[in-house]
Amino acid sequence: MKRLLSAASKFMPLAIALASIVVVLLLYVSGIGFLDLLELKTYDLRLQSRGSLAPSHNIVLCVIDEKSLRREGRWPWPRWKIANLVDALSEKGAKVIAFDIGFFEPDEYVDRSLLDELETEVKKGLTTKVELISLLERIKNQFNNDLILARSIKDSRARIVLGYFFHMSREDVEHELDHDQLMKRLSLIETSKYPIVLYRRHGSGPSPFTKAFVPVTNLDELTEAAESTGYFNIFPDPDGVVRRIPLAIQCGGDVYSPLSIQALWNALDRPPLSVVVSDYRVAGIKIGKKFVPTDANGNLLINYLGPPKTFPHIPVTDILRGDIEDGILKGSIVFVGATAVGIYDQRATPFGPVYPGLEVHATVADNILTQRYILKPKWSSIVDLLTICMLGLSSVFLLWLLGPYRAVFVCAGLFVAHVGACTALFWTRGVWLNIIYPAISLAMTYGLLTIYYYVTQEKEKKRLKVAFHQYVSPFVVKQLLKQRDDIHLGGEKKDLSVLFSDLRGFTKLSKNSAPQELASQLNEYLTAMTDIVFKSGGTLDKYIGDGLMAIFGAPVPIAEHPYKACEAAIEMIKTLERLNTQWVTTGRTALDVGIGISTGTMLVGNLGSRQRFDYTAIGESVNLGAK
């Protein structure tokens, strides 16, 4: 049983490490909200530390900013002004105009100056009905700003993409919709459907796409005039930060594409467009020869190029007034939307809490156009699992090799190397590997093993103290505790020195002296001799009647053990001379001592029976010293 426990104790550190690693693996697979949130923060830090990237020159942002609001009036503007913007962008050579703005309700803007003009003319009295009819026609046209915008959209040389959004659940809808109403709305976003959903392998299982309940569409006349439409839904992570965007949403049995995909698809002259599904997991989106990798649900990790205004921002008011350079918009994809803080189209991103939603869509289009992605491929999970195991097991090896004090610095170096490797791979290849869980594996395993190390160390210290406090000095006990890994108590052959001391004529003295007086004198003598052994670094083996046996060089190694044994012998003789002087003055008998010293190879260790054993030395050299 004792051997079994001893063997088990040898493998206990490995068992603790394996248990710790298994726990971290289970946490990784199941996902813990707090730890996953920490990992997301490392994602943000990796993006920020990478620095800004240059955007594609083909993407421009036409922004409704504070300057535009000051010069053109407060938002919302009349639709005829948006129509003027469409005309101006088209004339400047924009290839695609994508609106991150919804036109969901009829324009209610009324130009009061025309009504005032009508009132003035009526009061003056019109000579003919022609002038009145002409004025009424102008007012009628003014009231129908939506038709003006629809006409500009239809006549534009640029391809117009209108944005809309989905209600994701029934609870978001104020009024119940019947089947016909739902079908009517879905027909209005027909142009944003993926023409092809390509299933590479068939099987059974739920649809992998994000589900929506019903779309909120633009006015019929605007939708019909536009080239295509795309949703602009953006869903933040649990901490409120936008790091990914769905490139495919399912509604009513069909799969729809976002504003960014539609804008880019039209800019590329509408190559084949499809969403690829493999084993009921979304594999990605194909736009012509470009492949867009997504997660299993069709979400794209957004590779933000930098902080706000990484893309060129051109105020709408400058475009309306012709205050821009010629050629700056030629052949470009123009995203139109609001960046003014008061319009509240701001998102939290890895680069800060205030980031225009418009620029999120532009970033997605840029990622696809330039093929610069952040990836979390299938093999990344395998690498994460292997790293969790390797870092956890490395702490076992380091603790065994270096001990807890030096191992902590090497473990810290491993952590830094792990973070550095993950960051470098993120910067250079856009691959997202997990930092948090492998780091937890390293820290948890090291921490538990260190606790185990100190618990067993304290037990070992206590055992050594109990075993040797009667044999050696407190200083030697401390040395034993420091060098316990180099000390073997089970028995070994070593080159040592032994010292035997024996009182001469003590038998005759014991017959002529009172027992109590003799015992007191003997105790005083042995105490002094024992102190000398301890002072010289020796180990008290045993008392042999009126003598003692001491070992020099074990269990703590002493390089000059013969010298130390001789030093102790000389000191014993001098000390006995002083004691004899004291004893004679008090009427007691002087004592005489004989000392034998031997140096040689001996067997030393815990020797005896299972019930009782002592730390001692045996062998020819020991016998020689005893003679």
**Whole-prediction pTM value?**
0.73
Q: At what angle do helices 515-535 and 561-585 cross, to 10 degrees?
A: 150
- pLDDT score, position 4: 47
DSSP-assigned letters across all residues of 173-228: -SS---HHHHHHHHHHTGGGB-SEEEESS-------SEE-SEEEPPPHHHHHHSSE
Going from the C-alpha of 538 to that of each of 485, 535, 552, 563, 566, the distances in angstroms are: 20, 7, 5, 11, 11
pLDDT tops 90 at residue 270 = yes
- φ and ψ at residue 621, rounded to 5 degrees: -65, -35
Nearest-angstrom CA–CA distance, 548 and 567: 16
Identify the weakest region by mean pLDDT among 170-174, 437-441, 479-483, 617-621: 479-483
Nearest-angstrom CA–CA distance, 579 and 524: 9
pLDDT tops 60 at residue 476 = no
Q: Per residue in 61-115, pLDDT tens?
A: 999 999 999 999 888 899 999 999 999 999 999 999 999 999 999 887 655 555 5
Q: Per residue in 509-560, pLDDT tens?
A: 777 778 888 888 999 999 999 999 989 989 888 888 889 999 999 888 888 9
CATH number for region 473-626: 3.30.70.1230
Structural tokens at position 421 = 């490797």
- Contact predicate 161/259, CB 8 Å: yes
Q: Which residues on neighbouring strands pair with residue 290, listed in sequence order? A: 287
Q: Per residue in 178-221, pLDDT tens?
A: 778 888 899 999 999 998 888 766 555 678 899 999 999 999 99
Nearest-angstrom CA–CA distance, 38 and 46: 13
Nearest-angstrom CA–CA distance, 335 and 282: 27
Residues, the chain: 627
Nearest-angstrom CA–CA distance, 157 and 42: 45
Structural tokens at position 318 = 């400058």
Could you list the beta-strand ranges (E) of 20-92: 59-64
- pLDDT score, position 2: 47
Instruction: State the first-to-last Cα distance of the chain, in angstroms, to the nearest integer.
Output: 42
Identify the weakest region by mean pLDDT among 379-388, 458-467, 497-506, 574-583: 458-467
Q: How many CB atoms lie under 10 A from the CB of residue 48?
A: 15
Torsion of CA 446, 452, 455, 457, to 10 degrees: -80
| Contacts for 334 with CB less than 8 Å, ≥ 6 apart | 60, 61, 62, 89, 94, 96, 97, 98, 158
- pLDDT score, position 123: 60
- Contact predicate 335/60, CB 8 Å: yes
Counting residues of the chain whose pLDDT is more than 70, the rounded percentage is 85
Identify the weakest region by mean pLDDT among 54-63, 137-146, 236-245, 545-554: 137-146
Three-state SS for 240-255 is CECCEEECCEEECCEE
Residue among 113, 44, 143 nearest 355 (CA): 44
Could you list the beta-strand ranges (E) of 263-328: 273-278, 281-287, 290-293, 299-301, 313-315
Mean pLDDT of 385-404: 88
Question: Which of the pair, 323 or 361, is modelled with greater confidence?
Answer: 361
pLDDT tops 90 at residue 459 = no
- Contact predicate 234/245, CB 8 Å: yes
Q: Helix, strand, or coil here: 503?
A: strand
Nearest-angstrom CA–CA distance, 365 and 285: 13
34's enclosing H/E stretch is: helix 33-50
Nearest-angstrom CA–CA distance, 537 and 471: 11
| Contacts for 438 with CB less than 8 Å, ≥ 6 apart | 384, 387, 388, 391, 418
| Contacts for 624 with CB less than 8 Å, ≥ 6 apart | 596, 598, 600
Identify the weakest region by mean pLDDT among 148-152, 438-442, 449-453: 449-453
Average pLDDT of the residues of the chain:
86
Three-state SS for 355-393 is EEHHHHHHHHHHHHHHCCCCECCHHHHHHHHHHHHHHHH
Burial class (CB in 10 A: 0-12, 13-18, 19+), 269: exposed
